Amino acid sequence: MDSVSPARRSEIMGRVRSRDTAPEMLVRRMVHAMGYRYRLHAEELSGKPDLVFRPRRKIIFVHGCFWHRHPDCALARLPKSRQDFWLPKLEANRQRDLKIEHDLRKANWSVLTIWECELGDTYKLKNKIKEFLDA
């Protein structure tokens, strides 16, 4: 059973943003400080990628582990209530992500997904981003 009322749950879920999230802002500040310049949420590209590096033909998505079902991640656990609602919803998100990545790669874009759980180790994350963008 849910521990909050349906109205309160709706209010909480309504605050979940799809862009300018805390993890995305952290990655954006990091990438900018590293000297890379990018465009945000290019609407003409499949999935409206978080960061777009046009001259390099590279894209970075910043995904929340829960919403995008990061495999084998503790942050991607399923809610205890209403699993009949959540499981199909979250699985649809994951399938959509796979299709978007496939479409972008088919259009000759390189794609990097940064997961929310990777944000804790900034040294490792900076190296991963630098390696991706400079390759």
26-42 tens-digit pLDDT:
999 999 999 999 999 99
pLDDT of residue 15: 66
| Selected residue with higher pLDDT from 82 and 11 | 82
pLDDT of residue 83: 86
> Does residue 2 carry a pLDDT above 80?
no
| Selected residue with higher pLDDT from 85 and 40 | 40
The mean pLDDT of the chain is 91
> Does residue 13 carry a pLDDT above 70?
no
Q: Name the phi and psi angles at 123, rounded to 5.
A: -60, -50
Q: Name the phi and psi angles at 62, rounded to 5.
A: -115, 110
Q: Name the phi and psi angles at 110, rounded to 5.
A: -90, 140
Please identify, in words, the CATH class of the domain defined by 18-134: alpha beta
The share of the chain scoring above pLDDT 70, in percent, equals 92
> Does residue 126 carry a pLDDT above 70?
yes
Beta strands at 58-63 and 110-115: parallel, antiparallel or unpaired: parallel
